[in-house]
Amino acid sequence: MIRFLSLLYIFAAGLSAAFLFSQTPTVTFVQGKVEYVVLDGDKGQKIDDLEVNSSVLPNHLIATGKGSRTELQQRNIIWRLGSLSVGKWLSQKRFWLHSGSALFCTTKETTLQLSSIDSNATFVGKGTIIIEATSNGGFKFIPLECKGTLTTLKGGTKEIIEGQMLLVMGNPTEYGNAFDLDLILLLRSSRLVNSFPVPLPTFDQIGLAIYMQQLKLKGKYDALIGDATSNENLQMWKFGKGKNKKQPGSPAKAKSFLGGFFTNE
| Residue 9 clears pLDDT 60, i.e. is over it | no
What digits encode the pLDDT tens for the residues 85-141? 999 999 989 999 999 999 999 999 999 999 999 999 999 999 999 999 999 999 999
* pLDDT bucket at 228, cuts 50 / 70 / 90: low
pTM of structure? 0.76
What digits encode the pLDDT tens for the residues 22-33? 478 999 999 999
Q: State the CATH class of domain 2-261.
A: mainly beta
pLDDT of the residue at 15: 32
| Residue 242 clears pLDDT 90, i.e. is over it | no
Task: Round to whole Å and give the CA distance between 265 and 247.
Answer: 25
Task: Round to whole Å and give the CA distance between 87 and 96.
Answer: 6
| Residue 199 clears pLDDT 70, i.e. is over it | yes
What digits encode the pLDDT tens for the residues 78-93? 999 999 999 999 998 9
pLDDT of the residue at 42: 65
Task: Round to whole Å and give the CA distance between 30 and 33.
Answer: 8
Average pLDDT over residues 193-208: 94
| Residue 246 clears pLDDT 60, i.e. is over it | no
Sequential DSSP letters for 117-163: SS-EEEEEEEEEEEEEE-TTS-EEEEEEEEEEEEEETTTEEEE--TT
Query: Hey, what amino acid is at 65?
Result: G
pLDDT of the residue at 188: 87
pLDDT of the residue at 29: 98
Average pLDDT over residues 188-192: 91
pLDDT of the residue at 35: 97
| Residue 17 clears pLDDT 80, i.e. is over it | no
pLDDT of the residue at 10: 35
